[in-house]
């Protein structure tokens, strides 16, 4: 997708940004006359238009269009060295200022201004009270581990307009297509629930701040997804999910391709349903590209989000490892939201400006195995005083450092067959019958704090036993990758010569944001699996009705 970027003189403004700038200037004038003075204010209005269609069982289950306008106020009272966003130690219930989605009208400037002033007033009162508490908190608590200021200086204001294409969706046409696909999925008797969904969203954000930035930017994102669920005889709940994310709805897969997907989805669900549950395991593991990407996102990515280094309750896994090796010499990792396409995919984590009005930029994280630094918002940490354009949030949340496009590169690679050969060799060396190959991962989570184990859980959705004696692979289910970062990374031994892309949405304290991970196959000498949770319900007693809707069910 070509990105049309219009850089404009600082006097430029749209009608909406002009209104926002007027209200910002007025509010700063009033608040600056108070005892507790703000040092920064930003206003963002996000117009969100979306189309959603989903079908199941050969019929449309829902088809909607939504149009919303959401306000975000980012206010900082105090000074850049210590302001009202600082963490109150010992007051977890007061962590952060009160936030939520503030909906604005689109058709009335007067109503918009009224709601805007109401929210500004409420936010100022909250932050003015909070800075007093923070100063008191500083006097009674021990010195903090990270003494960096609370807010970074900006080199120069961001002034730009990036046109966002309008939504142009043939909703009725997609309803017919999804209905046909859902009917194809329901043909299988083992499918207890199936759904096909289309979601297309257009976001356009108008942003102004007290430093002179004026931005209009956004994105269109579309996702087609197919899912099917079943219950195995042992009660295990089985799910298979397939999706495609694009920047232009016109580039979504055609119906023939989607029909092929539907067949593959059902076949894989049937195979998983009949597959045996695996057992807890410690041994060699080969992660294929998409699985490698999710693995790095969970094990590494959240631990290099810079704002976590300022929080005393965080584990700060890599805080003392800048300039030190944490991965093999042949591995590089960086996060670059400026990349729109890679390996034949549109990347979900692509954006031009972050949610603090900073230009997106490449953030080097690991070079030749050596840790280089963090993903940074405008919240500095010691040794990293500036943003690298990774302050992100969903509307209604405060921005923090988040991943965009996390990309893993390997300087030394081998092909997949060689990786499989080495996997079998590792299994033999460890006197194991087999190694594990993980083809796909459905997500995961990670714990980065100090009060719980600083561990990860990555949910394998498709895994195989690869036998040391060369027998055919065996599909298994019911296991999740678990462990801790340093142990996992110390066992990384080799990388493949092809990369694959994972597109998804990541949830953290600033809400759900679109992300991508691009990675090669990765071979580990030893990782650990634990049992996944298992359902206790039996499969349905009544069979599905026949193709014509007749009730020829049998009792099972």
pLDDT, tens digit (0-9, with 9 covering 90-100), for 188-203: 999 999 999 999 999 9
Whether residues 64 and 205 share a domain: the answer is yes
Q: Is the pLDDT of residue 49 over 60?
A: yes
Whether residues 330 and 263 share a domain: the answer is no
Mean pLDDT of all residues belonging to the chain: 92
Rounded (10°) CA dihedral 421, 426, 431, 433:
-40
Q: Is the residue at 544 inside a domain?
A: no
* Rounded CA separation 296/446 (Å): 11
- CATH of residue 134's domain is 3.30.2290.10
Total number of domains in the chain: 2
Q: Is the pLDDT of residue 4 over 80?
A: no
Q: Is the residue at 539 inside a domain?
A: no
Whether residues 286 and 248 share a domain: the answer is no
pLDDT class of 554 with cuts at 50, 70, 90: very low
Q: Is the pLDDT of residue 422 over 80?
A: yes
477: left (phi over 0), alpha (psi -120 to 50) or beta: beta
Q: Is the pLDDT of residue 550 over 70?
A: no
Q: Is the pLDDT of residue 2 over 50?
A: no
* Rounded CA separation 158/546 (Å): 61
Question: Where are the extended beta strands (E) located within 210-294?
Answer: 214-231, 237-246, 281-287
Q: Residue 403 is part of which domain span?
A: 281-531
Please identify, among 274, 299, 326, the residue that sits at the C-terminal boundary of a domain: 274
Q: Is the pLDDT of residue 397 over 80?
A: yes
pLDDT, tens digit (0-9, with 9 covering 90-100), for 437-496: 999 988 788 888 888 888 899 889 999 999 999 999 999 999 999 999 999 999 999 999
Pair 202, 218: CB distance under 8 Å: yes
* Rounded CA separation 382/289 (Å): 34
Cβ-based neighbours of 429, under 8 Å, separated by 6 or more: none
Whether residues 257 and 361 share a domain: the answer is no
**Helix, strand, coil shares, percent, the chain, to 5:** 25, 40, 40
Q: Mean pLDDT over residues 275-283, rounded? A: 96
Q: Is the residue at 433 inside a domain?
A: yes
Pair 225, 196: CB distance under 8 Å: yes
Residue 437 — φ and ψ, nearest 5°? Answer: -110, 125
pLDDT at 10: 42
Q: Is the residue at 553 inside a domain?
A: no
pLDDT, tens digit (0-9, with 9 covering 90-100), for 147-159: 899 999 887 999 9
Whether residues 287 and 265 share a domain: the answer is no
Q: Which of 28, 74, 30, 31 is nearest to 354 (CA)?
A: 74
Q: Is the pLDDT of residue 329 over 90?
A: yes
Pair 435, 517: CB distance under 8 Å: no
Whether residues 266 and 289 share a domain: the answer is no
Q: How many CB atoms lie within 10 A of CB 325?
A: 14
Whether residues 261 and 361 share a domain: the answer is no
pLDDT class of 398 with cuts at 50, 70, 90: very high
Please identify, among 274, 290, 325, the residue that sits at the C-terminal boundary of a domain: 274
* Rounded CA separation 321/335 (Å): 18
Measured on CA atoms in the order 320, 324, 329, 333, is the torsion positive or negative? positive
pLDDT at 3: 34
Whether residues 249 and 180 share a domain: the answer is yes
Q: Is the residue at 547 inside a domain?
A: no
Pair 520, 410: CB distance under 8 Å: yes
Please identify, among 274, 307, 322, the residue that sits at the C-terminal boundary of a domain: 274
Whether residues 122 and 145 share a domain: the answer is yes
Q: Is the residue at 289 inside a domain?
A: yes
Whether residues 224 and 308 share a domain: the answer is no
Q: Is the residue at 516 inside a domain?
A: yes
Token pair in block for residue 8: 């404009």
Whether residues 251 and 295 share a domain: the answer is no
Whether residues 268 and 301 share a domain: the answer is no
CA angle 347, 353, 355 (to 5 degrees): 105
pLDDT at 547: 62
Q: Is the residue at 288 inside a domain?
A: yes
pLDDT at 546: 65
Q: Supply the pTM of this predicted model.
A: 0.93
């Amino acid at each position: 997708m070509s990105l049309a970027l219009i850089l404009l003189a600082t006097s430029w403004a749209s009608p909406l940004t002009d209104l926002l700038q007027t209200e910002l200037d007025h509010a700063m004038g009033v608040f600056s006359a108070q005892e507790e003075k703000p040092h920064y204010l930003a206003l963002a209005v996000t117009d969100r238009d979306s189309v959603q269609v989903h079908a199941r069982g050969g019929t449309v289950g829902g088809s909607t269009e939504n149009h919303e306008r959401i306000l975000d106020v980012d206010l900082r009272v105090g000074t850049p060295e210590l302001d009202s966003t600082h963490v109150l130690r010992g007051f977890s219930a007061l962590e952060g200022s009160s936030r939520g989605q503030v909906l604005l009208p689109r058709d009335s400037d007067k109503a918009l201004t009224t709601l805007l002033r109401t929210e500004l007033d409420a936010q100022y009162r909250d932050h003015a009270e909070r800075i007093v508490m923070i100063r008191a908190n500083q006097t009674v608590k021990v010195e903090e581990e990270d003494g960096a200021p609370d807010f970074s200086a900006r080199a120069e204001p961001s002034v730009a307009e990036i046109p966002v294409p309008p939504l142009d969706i043939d909703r009725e046409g997609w309803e017919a297509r999804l209905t046909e696909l859902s009917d194809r999925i329901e043909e299988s008797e083992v499918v207890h629930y199936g759904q096909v969904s289309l979601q297309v969203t257009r976001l356009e954000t108008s942003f102004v701040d007290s430093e002179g930035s004026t931005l209009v930017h956004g994105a269109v994102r579309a996702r087609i997804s197919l899912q099917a669920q079943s219950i195995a005889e042992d009660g295990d709940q089985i799910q298979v999910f397939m999706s495609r994310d694009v920047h232009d709805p016109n580039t979504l897969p055609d119906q023939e391709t989607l029909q092929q997907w539907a067949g593959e989805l059902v076949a894989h669900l049937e195979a998983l349903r009949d597959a045996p549950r695996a057992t807890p395991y410690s041994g060699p593991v080969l992660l294929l590209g998409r699985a490698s990407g999710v693995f790095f996102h969970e094990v590494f990515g959240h631990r290099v989000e810079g704002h976590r280094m300022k929080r005393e309750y965080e584990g700060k896994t890599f805080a003392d490892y800048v300039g030190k090796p944490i991965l093999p010499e042949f591995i590089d990792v960086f996060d670059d939201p400026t990349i729109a396409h890679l390996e034949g995919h549109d990347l979900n984590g692509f954006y031009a400006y972050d949610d603090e009005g900073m230009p997106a930029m490449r953030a080097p994280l690991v070079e030749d195995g050596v840790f280089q630094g963090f993903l940074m918002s405008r919240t500095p940490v010691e040794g990293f005083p500036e943003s690298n354009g990774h302050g992100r949030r969903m509307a209604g949340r405060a921005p923090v450092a988040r991943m965009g496009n996390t990309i893993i590169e390997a300087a030394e690679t081998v092909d997949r067959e060689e990786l499989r050969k080495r996997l079998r060799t590792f299994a033999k060396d460890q006197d194991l019958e087999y190694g594990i190959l993980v083809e796909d991962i459905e997500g995961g989570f990670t714990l980065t704090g100090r009060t719980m184990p600083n561990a990860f859980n990555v949910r394998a959705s498709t895994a195989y036993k690869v036998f040391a004696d060369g027998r055919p692979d065996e599909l298994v289910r019911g296991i999740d990758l678990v462990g801790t970062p340093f142990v996992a990374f110390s066992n990384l031994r080799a990388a493949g010569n092809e990369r694959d892309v994972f597109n998804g949405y990541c949830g953290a304290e600033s809400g759900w944001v679109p992300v991508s991970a691009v990675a090669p196959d990765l071979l580990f000498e030893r990782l650990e699996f634990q049992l996944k949770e298992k359902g206790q319900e039996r499969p349905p007693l009544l069979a599905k009705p026949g193709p014509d809707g007749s009730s020829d069910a049998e009792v099972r």
